[in-house]
Amino acid sequence: MSKILKEVIISNKKYAKNFNTKGNLQAAPIKKFAILTCMDARLDPAKFAGLSEGDAHVIRNAGGRVSDDAIRSLLISYKLLGTEEWFVIHHTDCGLEKFSNTDIDKEFNLDSKNKIDWLTFTDNEKSVVEDVLRLKKHPLVPNSIPIYGYIYDCKTGNLKEVFEATNLGI
């Protein structure tokens, strides 16, 4: 058993001892909103958004990008579980801003038949705007859902609104 595996098992046992009424939480978020953000380990959406278990849906992927799977998750969050507002939150110093699709393809030795759109970007604010727009233009996303665009600052912990994205999203 690896050291990490042992730590996870021990931590889970401690967590489960104090689980109490959390077992009664429903899948629908209490605060009726969802966050799409990056998987970067420096981001803790529960802390930067003041969340407890059950408060919101948090969808994470590389870059916090509006991929097809993120759209699927947000639509399920809305239609089946009642979210009424969405946040797209990218962050400073993101790895996907440092590499191109070609760079990542080379890392995996991908040929033209096996390419993946890694959703890399060169301008963080522009990528937030593009992601909010992609959601707003999706035929299954209702106009009634406000979508806010933000960038989390990894050095300060502050959220900075991307006004252009939010203006397009509301």
CATH of the domain at 92: 3.40.1050.10
Asked whether residue 17 is assigned to any structural domain, the reply reads no
Residue 13 lies in a domain: no
According to the model, what pLDDT value does residue 154 have?
98
Give the per-residue pLDDT at 111: 82
Smallest Cα–Cα separation from 28: which of 70, 84, 71?
A: 84
pLDDT at residue number 35:
98
Q: Is this structure's pTM higher than 0.75?
A: yes
Quote the CA–CA distance of 112 and 102 in Å, as a whole number: 11
Pick from 154, 94, 104: nearest CA to 126: 94
116-149 burial: b if 16+ Cβ within 10 Å, else e: eebbbbeebbebbbbbbbbbbeeeebeeebebbb
Burial of 84 (0-12, 13-18, 19+ CB in 10 A): middle
- Which residues, given as ranges, of the chain have pLDDT below 50? none
- Residue 21 in any domain: the answer is no
69 token code pair: 């799977």
Query: Does residue 163 lie within any of the structural domains?
Result: yes
pLDDT of residue 64: 98
Query: Do residues 119 and 96 make contact, with C-beta atoms less than 8 angstroms apart?
Result: yes
What domain count does the chain have? 1
120-160 pLDDT, tens per residue? Answer: 999 999 999 999 999 999 999 999 999 999 999 999 999 99
